[in-house]
Structure 1
Amino acid sequence: MPGILYLVPNMLGTHDGSTNDPLAAVIPTEVKALTARLGYFIAENPKTTRAYLKLVSQSVPLARTIQEIRISELNVNTSADALPALLEPLLAGQDGGLISEAGVPAVADPGANLVRLAHTKGITVRPLVGPSSLLLAVMASGLNGQSFAFNGYLPTDAAQRLKRIKTLEDRSRSEKQTQLFIETPYRNGALLEAMASGCNPATLICIATDLSLASEAIKTQPAAKWKSELAAGKTPDFHKKPTVFLFLAA
């Protein structure tokens, strides 16, 4: 009988060291206990996964030493041909955990294809409770939480990015749907400027940075207000920080 593929949540960023259990506020005790007993992980980054397991061990002893835990790598460069081998331990009866670099796996994450393959092979998939930056951003934005769409990354070319923003703003307006994006953190400023200048002045824009961390900052206001603040040099403190961008057209 195949093992179970657990979708293991991770923190959304590094902790500040101010608490003995930095996971306490974001990862349930039961999830930490289940994670601690696994001996096989499929990880976006093995190094940060080992660091995460060390944090887990501060409150729940690991069933094996970190050196004994097997960690296979799955990232954006992993080919489809390599996926079956990652599931071989589970097909042999061992439980395993899929873990992302941050947040929950298989959402804006290369693990989705592995989860799909697990289903085709009859492997039970169990998602575990943990922080999702996308859902936290929707919750805190004040925008429409009944209908929203995640659009991943927008084009890096300025003209193509503006065209995409206009298209999604039209969709947001016609469907009353919140639109979500993420960006490579060093390009956060360029994306906000494009949204502030390209959107209708009344369109509501939310910037949600460092969610669940001590440095968390969330702000929603019309595009016109963002544009005037940027013109005055009042840029959010979000350079090189993980940020979710949202807007709802007026």
Structure 2
Amino acid sequence: MAEVKGKLYLIPTPISGSEPENVLPQRVIDITRHLSYFVVEELRTARRYLSRIKVQKPIDELVFFELNEHSQPEAVEAMLTPLLQGYDVGLMSEAGVPAIADPGAILVAAAHRKGIRVIPLVGPSSILLTLVASGLNGQNFAFVGYLPVKPDERRKRIRILEQRSRTEGQTQLFIEAPYRNIQLLKDLISVCNEQTTIAIATELTSADELIITKTVREWKNIPLPDINKKNTVFALLA
């Protein structure tokens, strides 16, 4: 008799302070409530969220594995144990969908190697929401993660991304540590060609949501919005 393996559910979570039922399908919440095993990026955040949606079991009876950029391969393999024993497991990011700008991809890859069924669930992605709300090219785009921290390297990277965008007609999307948002926006405005379009999307799905798309020339003629220490996605199209 073939062994029965559990399913790995990729569970999205809210990307702002929004109520889960306002940004997640009820089916996603229901599936999450009935799971007993979770792989999470940050334990405290996960426990808080699961309490918020009123999981079926007491929080202290749930089993958690922490997966982050420091997790070793053998630890990732151990996270597959419940799945191989027939239990379903939920993979949760700290915010948004797992495995995008998130270490969860290594667990998904390991699950595929073991023949475990992977089920992605529908939920908010700040990257895709930024793209669709920006008015930039949604037929050809790339998410390139974080830009370099050092100013000279960051500006050099911006020039490379702008040239790639110009050559390929490709929208470039990226993020920054929230406390460096203003400096990144200033660098974009100072480095890029005046005809290049820059979009920002801040605190998406929240009451403070802000989405602005303007050319560099237009950005130079308006006061910069207060995006300091706010979750923001940037996009450019040359």
Q: What displacement does 1:54 show? A: 1.7
Are 1:113 and 2:106 an aligned pair? yes
After TM superposition, the score normalised by the length of structure 1 is 0.92
Matches within 5 A, 1:81-230: 81-229=74-222
Q: Quote the Cα distance in structure 2 between the aligned partners of 1:54 and 1:114.
A: 24
Paired residue secondary structure (2:101): coil
1:13 aligns to what? 16
Write out the 4+ residue segments of structure 1 that deviate beyond 3 Å after TM superposition: none
Q: Quote the Cα distance in structure 2 between the aligned partners of 1:80 and 1:192.
A: 37
1:45 aligns to what? 42
Q: What displacement does 1:149 show? A: 0.2
2:26 aligns to what? 29
Q: What displacement does 1:225 show? A: 2.0
Q: Identity of counterpart residues, as a percentage?
A: 52
Q: Quote the Cα distance in structure 1 between the aligned partners of 2:112 and 2:220.
A: 47
Q: What displacement does 1:31 show? A: 0.6
Q: What displacement does 1:66 show? A: 1.3
Paired residue secondary structure (1:151): strand
Q: What displacement does 1:43 show? A: 0.2
After TM superposition, the score normalised by the length of structure 2 is 0.96
Q: Quote the Cα distance in structure 2 between the aligned partners of 1:220 and 1:237.
A: 15
Q: Provide, for residues 1-31 of structure 1, a one-character-per-residue CA deviation record: whole Å limited to 9, x for no partner.
A: 110000000110224xxxxxx1122110011
Paired residue secondary structure (1:109): coil
Q: Provide, for residues 92-142 of structure 1, a one-character-per-residue CA deviation record: whole Å limited to 9, x for no partner.
A: 111000000000000110000110010001110000000000000001000
Q: What displacement does 1:79 show? A: 1.8
Q: Quote the Cα distance in structure 2 between the aligned partners of 1:90 and 1:173.
A: 46
**Structure 2 unpaired stretches of 5+:** none
Q: What displacement does 1:56 show? A: 1.4
Paired residue secondary structure (2:123): coil
Q: What displacement does 1:150 show? A: 0.3
Give the letter for the 2:236 counterpart: F
**Structure 1 unpaired stretches of 5+:** 16-21
Q: Quote the Cα distance in structure 1 between the aligned partners of 2:74 and 2:177.
A: 28
Q: What displacement does 1:227 show? A: 2.7
1:247 aligns to what? 236
Q: Quote the Cα distance in structure 2 between the aligned partners of 1:80 and 1:109.
A: 16
Q: Provide, for residues 27-48 of structure 1, a one-character-per-residue CA deviation record: whole Å limited to 9, x for no partner.
A: 1001100110000000001111
Give the letter for the 2:61 counterpart: E
Contact (CA 8 Å) 1:98, 1:105: kept in 2 or not?
yes
1:18 aligns to what? none
Q: Quote the Cα distance in structure 1 between the aligned partners of 2:211 and 2:56.
A: 39
Paired residue secondary structure (1:53): helix
Q: What displacement does 1:183 show? A: 0.3
2:69 aligns to what? 76
Choose 156-165 or 181-190, whichever is displaced more. 156-165
Contact (CA 8 Å) 1:193, 1:227: kept in 2 or not?
no
